[in-house]
Structure 1
Amino acid sequence: MTSRRSWLRNSVLGLAGSTLLTPQRLSALRGHQHRLDGELSGDPDSEKYWALVREHFSFAENLRYFNNGSLGACPTYVVEATNAFRATLDGFPSKYMWGGWQDQKEAVRGKVAAMLHVSPETIALIHNTTEGMNLIASSMDLAAGDEVLLSNHEHTSARIPWKYWQEGKGVVLKTVNLPLIPEGPQEIVEAFRQAITPRTRVISLVHLTNTNGMILPVKAISEMAHAHGILVAVDGAQSMGMINIDLEDLGCDFFTSSSHKWTFSPKGMGVFYAREAAQKHLRPLIVCRGYEDESIRRLENYNTRNLPELLGLGAAMDYRNLIGGEEIERRIYALKAYLREAIAQDERLVLKTPGSDLLSAGIQTVELREHQVGEVKQKLADEFHIDCRPMGSHGLNGLRISLAIYHTKADVDYLVEALRQVLDA
């Protein structure tokens, strides 16, 4: 209860005050805050609780959305807050674009830093993971013959920046092949260990794969890399918001994520982290007045940007804090266990995601035997209004199922029954 009272008092909207939003808009949004506070004061282990959370998301009629790994949705509260900020900006554009919301911007930075257990001076508020990976790859002062290690599960937006910015200089991009279902985290660590040579300068790796939801042991890899003087960059697009992350504990040098996936912020917002000792390596992608700033804010110096979406990220952080990061993670793992148990006895459905909670969480990829995944995906969409992602890389013929806090166990039952009906047809 104390944390919920703090949420009402310290939210981005609370900081806004009547000087930034019209009294009518501020009153309506604060009323929404109080309603959420009342609704989410129940038992987070109850299905009724998560059914209430589901009502905070306004999906299209009849849609069962299992594709959060591609793009998340905003809770209605975040949508309304963002729209209120947008109306305020359009009411006095120059005031709020350049300086009027400075305290609010810093409040958002602080909320993101708190979620990741780091200093605000290590956090830049950018647009998405792709920008963050370009920022890292373009900044590295590498020479011909130097090596960058990337796993075979890297997203194209994490691999192509290295190819574009460094390969033409003669930098070698080495692929580390990972097992699809490793026996344990150490098997992944060992794959990277064997790939390291005296010319290895950077390890760039995904935290949680978008292919089959495998979690990579970033902490152990970072410790090993640093023992060899190697920098570690992490693509956290699928992990941030899904599982609790302590970046100080993980020990990586750089971490970037799109907040419009598992933290449910407005689209086009992202987060960039750079360990203070590693910030010296970074050069901004965009420069304008103020480029001399030595703080991490120099990386987000766009002059004009969509500030309502940035403040909407703050509202998304407030919403997350109201539920609680530990409760969210526990719910994700409960849904994972429920799904895996539901399909375990059906020989036509083969899980291609590691079962251990150390190695996977809210993304589970289910391979289909004797059916083409594209056809099954389309039938699920057309006949059952289910959206999920077909996955064909790495020899998979699977459906990637994203489990999020807006799902109930009844939603999982509906998905599994629909799958069985399609396979029976």
Structure 2
Amino acid sequence: MTSRRNFFKKAGAIGSLATISPVFAKDVEQERVFTIKNIENAASKVQHLSPEEAAKDEDFWYWVQKAFVQSPNFINLENGYCSAQPTETMNALFKNIQYINELPSFYMRRNQQADREEVKKQLAKLAGVSTEEIMITRNTTEALETIIFGLQTLKEGDEAIMTNQDYGSMLEAFYLRARRYGSKNVIISLPLHPKSNKEIVDCYEKAITPRTKVILVTHMINLTGQILPVKEIAEMAHAKGVEIISDSAHSFAHIDFKIPDLQCDYFGTSLHKWLSTPLGAGLMYIKREKIKQVWGLYGETGFADDDIRKFERIGTHPCWTNLTISNAIRFHNAIGAKRKEARLRYLKNYWAEKLKNNPKIILNVPLEAERSCGLGNVAVKGLSPTQLADILYDKYRIFTVGIETEAVKGIRVTPHLYTTLEELDAFVRAMEEIARTS
């Protein structure tokens, strides 16, 4: 297998061959960038394989790795914050910036809305929903806080259920809402290694009272990578008249699903994580019949209460990021959603299986296929998460992030599609040496 380290030497020359016209320019077909074609060609050679078999085909994944350029100065195993963009997507972004910069106000006044609607069509198809139910946001936080602060159904004295493993910004948003409007937050705990979906569902069900109006469920927990059974939780909650908000920041374009599969009422995600768009792209979904019961975060009187576009007036923003989402979707589809999920899970399991029996090492992520994918969490006994992350970077040049909360203590490890097995072997060797000497 060709090493990505050797590939870096050629990356500049390869990248210079790629030219991208603006997303909606007429000549886009004549300027097809080679990375998508190469990945599609490589994918055609593994289409007879199951996703799990294709996940281990290093010849195929070499072509995917070639599409990215990463720093040779360290091994990046912290892709959960945001993902690198493929070189092709970067070039698309630069071209879209140039395109809009040549038109500025003309584009903003004449073309912006139509282009946004076209991108929404592509996102809606990817997500399995209607364009009338989604809005392009800048991140998950903007999407979910628009919902959290806008919910008209959550009144003084009403309760919202969440867990101590939910994302901090969402917990803080509910905390602020409670201070402002007198609602009550019910914080529950979840097991790190559940024995069944029922065990998880029961945790939420036991917390429901007659005053419960909404449950926040993190689809893939950002601390550990555990995947929660959102559909089963939603079925239980809806039977009791309780709504569901799905925080899917880490699951969208990571595991293969459509939003309706979750049966949630509200949904938010960041596209600059696992879809690998430019920074500052997210998605908000509200079930069509629920839109009218959510206040907009900003003033807008030009659309009806049940029109998702009432949320879109957020002021001037970098439209070139929205345009470039189209390229990221094409790249994602060229790989294949099921194949991508299987590869990310294979990468997590590759290092986790090698470390799980070490008595000095603690895995904070369940390894069953239905309970986790590419994101994981691990600890070394005797070291704090910060100490472990510092040793990995300072001594071994491996970048991770320390997670230290009431519920979880360990480092988050998030390889991406460009991560090689040699890099994961280096991580395993480093962890074993640290465990021996700590």
Instruction: Mark yes or no: TM-score above 0.5.
Output: yes
Provide, for residues 208-266 of structure 1, a one-character-per-residue CA deviation record: whole Å limited to 9, x for no partner.
11111111111011111111111111111111111012221210000001111111111
User: How far has the Cα of 1:387 moved from its partner?
Assistant: 1.0
- Could you say what secondary structure the match of 2:274 adopts? coil
Provide, for residues 138-164 of structure 1, a one-character-per-residue CA deviation record: whole Å limited to 9, x for no partner.
111232211011111111111111222
- Could you say what secondary structure the match of 1:124 adopts? strand
User: How far has the Cα of 1:52 moved from its partner?
Assistant: 2.1
User: How far has the Cα of 1:31 moved from its partner?
Assistant: 5.1
User: How far has the Cα of 1:88 moved from its partner?
Assistant: 0.5
Is 1:368–1:397's contact at 8 Å kept on the other side of the alignment? no
> Could you tell me how far apart the structure 1 residues matched to 2:428 and 2:160 are?
41
> Could you tell me how far apart the structure 2 residues matched to 1:197 and 1:70 are?
35
Q: 1:94 aligns with which of 98, 102, 105?
A: 105
Instruction: Confirm whether residue 255 of structure 1 aligns to residue 263 of structure 2.
Output: no
Query: Which segment is superposed worse, 337-346 or 199-208?
Result: 337-346
Q: 1:323 aligns with which of 318, 335, 358?
A: 335
Instruction: Confirm whether residue 132 of structure 1 aligns to residue 132 of structure 2.
Output: no
Q: 2:394 aligns with which of 361, 378, 382?
A: 382
Is 2:144–2:170's contact at 8 Å kept on the other side of the alignment? yes
> Could you tell me how far apart the structure 2 residues matched to 1:100 and 1:293 are?
25
Q: 2:419 aligns with which of 407, 414, 417?
A: 407
State the identity %: 29
- Could you say what secondary structure the match of 2:261 adopts? helix
- Structure 1 residue runs of 4 or more that deviate by more than 6 Å after TM superposition: none
> Could you tell me how far apart the structure 2 residues matched to 1:89 and 1:26 are?
20
> Could you tell me how far apart the structure 2 residues matched to 1:179 and 1:119 are?
35
Q: 1:300 to 1:386 in 2, by over 3 A?
A: same
- Could you say what secondary structure the match of 2:419 adopts? coil
Q: TM-score, normalised by structure 1?
A: 0.90
> Could you tell me how far apart the structure 1 residues matched to 2:120 and 2:128 are?
12
Match for residue 24 of structure 2? Answer: 16
- Could you say what secondary structure the match of 1:394 adopts? coil
**Structure 1, unaligned runs of 5 or more:** 1-11
Query: Which segment is superposed worse, 56-65 or 325-334?
Result: 56-65
Q: 1:168 to 1:86 in 2, by over 3 A?
A: same
Is 1:126–1:269's contact at 8 Å kept on the other side of the alignment? yes
Q: 1:293 to 1:96 in 2, by over 3 A?
A: farther
- Give the alignment of 1:168-183 within 5 angstroms: 168-183=180-195
Is 2:40–2:335's contact at 8 Å kept on the other side of the alignment? no
User: How far has the Cα of 1:304 moved from its partner?
Assistant: 2.2
Q: 1:81 aligns with which of 92, 106, 125?
A: 92
Q: Which residue identity is paired with 1:237?
A: A
User: How far has the Cα of 1:26 moved from its partner?
Assistant: 8.2
Match for residue 286 of structure 2? Answer: 274
Q: 1:233 aligns with which of 229, 242, 245?
A: 245
Provide, for residues 177-217 of structure 1, a one-character-per-residue CA deviation record: whole Å limited to 9, x for no partner.
11222111111100110100000011112111111111111
Instruction: Confirm whether residue 370 of structure 1 aligns to residue 348 of structure 2.
Output: no
> Could you tell me how far apart the structure 1 residues matched to 2:338 and 2:110 are?
35
Is 1:288–1:302's contact at 8 Å kept on the other side of the alignment? no
Match for residue 73 of structure 2? Answer: 62
User: How far has the Cα of 1:36 moved from its partner?
Assistant: 4.7
> Could you tell me how far apart the structure 2 residues matched to 1:120 and 1:288 are?
19
Q: Which residue identity is paired with 1:284?
A: G
Q: Which residue identity is paired with 1:382?
A: D
User: How far has the Cα of 1:294 moved from its partner?
Assistant: 4.3
> Could you tell me how far apart the structure 1 residues matched to 2:90 and 2:311 are?
27
> Could you tell me how far apart the structure 2 residues matched to 1:305 and 1:270 are?
13
> Could you tell me how far apart the structure 2 residues matched to 1:344 and 1:192 are?
29
Match for residue 172 of structure 2? Answer: 160
Match for residue 134 of structure 2? Answer: 123
> Could you tell me how far apart the structure 1 residues matched to 2:398 and 2:207 are?
41
> Could you tell me how far apart the structure 1 residues matched to 2:237 and 2:384 are?
41
Is 2:348–2:374's contact at 8 Å kept on the other side of the alignment? yes
Q: Which residue identity is paired with 1:89?
A: I
Match for residue 313 of structure 2? Answer: 301
**Structure 2, unaligned runs of 5 or more:** 1-19, 47-53
Is 1:212–1:365's contact at 8 Å kept on the other side of the alignment? yes
Match for residue 13 of structure 2? Answer: none
Instruction: Confirm whether residue 189 of structure 1 aligns to residue 189 of structure 2.
Output: no
Match for residue 349 of structure 2? Answer: 337
Q: TM-score, normalised by structure 2?
A: 0.87
RMSD value, Cα: 2.2
> Could you tell me how far apart the structure 1 residues matched to 2:299 and 2:401 are?
37
Instruction: Confirm whether residue 286 of structure 1 aligns to residue 298 of structure 2.
Output: yes
Is 1:147–1:200's contact at 8 Å kept on the other side of the alignment? yes
Provide, for residues 345-382 of structure 1, a one-character-per-residue CA deviation record: whole Å limited to 9, x for no partner.
32221211112222211111112112333222112212
Q: Which residue identity is paired with 2:264?
A: C
Instruction: Confirm whether residue 48 of structure 1 aligns to residue 59 of structure 2.
Output: yes
> Could you tell me how far apart the structure 1 residues matched to 2:245 and 2:329 are?
24
Is 2:23–2:92's contact at 8 Å kept on the other side of the alignment? no
Is 2:165–2:407's contact at 8 Å kept on the other side of the alignment? no
